Structure 1
Amino acid sequence: MNTKPLIHLRPKLRSSSRIWLGSKYYTYKRYLKWIRNRKKFAQIYNKSLLPYCVISHHTPTLRKLKDVDMWMQHNKVMNLKIAIQKLNYIAIQPGETFSYWKLIGKITKQKGYVDGMILHYGKFSSGTGGGLCQLSNLIYWITLHTPLVVTERHRHSYDVFPDAKRTQPFGSGATCVYNYLDLQIYNATSQTYQLYLNIKNDQLIGEWRTTHPPIHKYKIYEKDHAITQEYWGDYVRHNIIHRKVLNLNDECIEDQYVTENHAIMMYQPLLK
């Protein structure tokens, strides 16, 4: 694995006007792409759960973080509940594509979204709809345990948490920014997949369900993990995500490359 300094990862400080103009440019560029795109996007909901659960996973909605007020965490839960209403029970038919932002839509206070925690240039701050990355992280993670194909995913630029209590490999999430940093998932199978989401007992729960019993299982793992100190002083973490495809006898029939990650660490690398 290449461990040379990653110059493109060095944070570039831009003025607020430059950031605003850039976000507008990429937002309308995505709108134009949606108009011209010939993809068939999923838009039908099925309120009856499909019979077979392929994968189920949950993550805590409330987590105490250094220098982050808990009101941001509680507001995040409010934002998650609103977004879940737009995604829950969506059914992806064969040949269709799931788009995180086409289903959720624009994040506004008029829709009930409140200020929650967002990560901006490596620092925590508040913003309307903050916290929705936890939802995109969960959907991406459970999708890796299915035959569904992730056609668009954006890695996090910063590694926020040390490995204490980490249950997933570093870099196994998906960041989201309306609407140009999207999470898109294509159904290349011959059966329908349904997304089920819920918040219960301070846990965000996600499931992919389908019409027939699954014939494969998936094990996600990392390779070539490394931490390097770059020339500008920050530490950068690297890895490659792979997954093993197992049959029902737990025999590995394929080892697939998933993605490569590079992220600036927001904590000291030897922190316990």
Structure 2
Amino acid sequence: MKPIKRSKIRIQLGKIYYTYKRYLEWYSGGTRFAKNMDKDLLPKEVFQHQTPLLRKLKDVDMWYQYNKIKNIEIAIKKLNGIVIQPGETLSYWRLIGKPTRRKGYKDGMVLFYGGFKSGVGGGLCQLSNLIYWMTLHTPLQVTERHRHSYDVFPDSNRTQPFGSGATCAYNYLDLRIYNPTDEPYQLNLYLTADHLVGQWRTTKEPIYTYEVYEKDHQMTLEYWDGYVRHNTIHRKVFNLNKEEIGDEYITENHAIMMYQPFLEDGSKTKS
């Protein structure tokens, strides 16, 4: 997990390579991508979640946050109402498309190698984070998700486990969700004055509910004198009688910390 410094040329060439590799896969692969939208909501809510639109982050100007809201508002129009039929896959970036100024996207905050910078369409990770978190509470399967390599900001009123989001970068860091069930699933997204709100909906009452939680959380001091944060994400499965019938491993996270953790006992790790 030691930070790797790459030249600007190396980064740019890598971005071009992976971008066009993904284009080739989009149009020549065998994946059935979800593309049909429905303005009418499916009758059964499976899971709903909301996240605040404005967060005060250390050393980050608030204009990043305001521009992020505009960017999310544009992207939502490409996702709201999308229906994933059985056997189909939702691709976050294939639906949204490339964020450009011509489409109305503004400069927002983009996390970059342990820091942040300004970039067109910045802030859309909040949207992918929300969709990923909601999906973990459904029988839908996440077939592509990328974790953050850096833990940039200290926890501030965190309500979800560390590492329960999905970073995104057009188009090679995608979020993909596959529908293995016999029922269609519909994504419903909207903004209130203060929150980004999302729902997964379907046609029949779900027979399972889920509780997502973390295990083995710790911060370790590495040989190169930096800290790395670790955990694993799991979920409990309950039937209609609220009886636990399963406990599933979801993923693991390892992120280089860009701030000094507080270790009360002065030890090497804290869990």
TM-score under structure 1 length normalisation: 0.94
Higher deviation after alignment, 142-151 or 197-206: 197-206
Question: 1:20 deviation in Å?
Answer: 1.0
Contact kept in structure 2, 1:97 and 1:185, CA below 8 Å: yes
Kindly indicate whether the alpha-carbon contact (under 8 Å) linking 1:162 and 1:271 is maintained by their aligned counterparts in 2: no
Deviation, 1:271, is 7.9
1:155-166 alignment, distance < 5 Å: 155-166=147-158
2:101 equivalent to 1:109: yes
**Does 2:8 correspond to 1:21?**
no
Does the residue aligned with 2:131 lie in a helix, a strand or coil? helix
The answer as to 2:83 corresponding to 1:91 is yes
Q: Verify: 1:196 aligned to 2:188, yes or no.
A: yes
In 2, distance between residues paired with 1:182 and 1:103? 11
Q: What are the equivalent positions in structure 2 for 1:89-168 lying under 5 Å apart?
A: 89-168=81-160
- Unaligned regions of 5+ residues in structure 2, if any? 265-271
- Letter paired with 1:39: T
SS of match in other structure, 2:69: helix
Would you say how many aligned residue pairs link Structure 1 and Structure 2?
A: 264
Match of 1:4 in 2: none
Task: Give the AA of the match of 1:201.
Answer: A
Structure 1 gap ranges (5+)? 1-8
Q: Secondary structure at the match of 1:72?
A: helix
Q: Which runs of 4+ in 1 moved over 3 A?
A: none
Alignment-derived partner of residue 42 in structure 2: 50
Amino acid across the alignment from 2:2: R
Q: Deviations over 1:163-200 (max 9, x none)?
A: 34110011100000111110000000000000000110
Q: Does the 8 Å contact 1:68/1:124 carry over to 2?
A: no
Residue by residue, what CA displacement relative to the aligned partner does 1:72-98 show, whole Å, maximum 9, x if unpaired?
100000000000000000000000000
Match of 2:247 among 241, 245, 255: 255
Q: What corresponds to 2:269 in structure 1?
A: none
* Code of the aligned partner of 1:30: R
Instruction: Using structure 2 for the length normalisation, give the TM-score.
Output: 0.95
The amino acid of 1:170's aligned partner reads: F
State the alpha-carbon separation in 1 of the partners of residues 185 and 129 from structure 2: 18
Alpha-carbon separation, structure 2, partners of 1:233 and 1:45: 50
> Which residue pairs with 2:268 in the alignment?
none
Aligned to 2:267: none
User: Take 1:144 and 1:54, find their aligned partners in 2: how far apart are those partners?
Assistant: 11
Matching residue of 1:213:
205
- Pairwise CA distance, 1:36: 2.1
Displacement of 1:267 after TM fit? Answer: 2.1
Structure 1 residues 142, 271: CA separation in 2 closer, same or farther (over 3 Å shift)?
farther
1:222 aligns with 2:207: no
Contact 1:143 1:150 in 2 (8 A): yes
What CA deviation, in whole Å up to 9, does each residue of 1:23-77 have, x standing for no partner? Answer: 0000001111112210110000010011111000000111111110000100000
Query: Identity across aligned pairs (percent)?
Result: 68
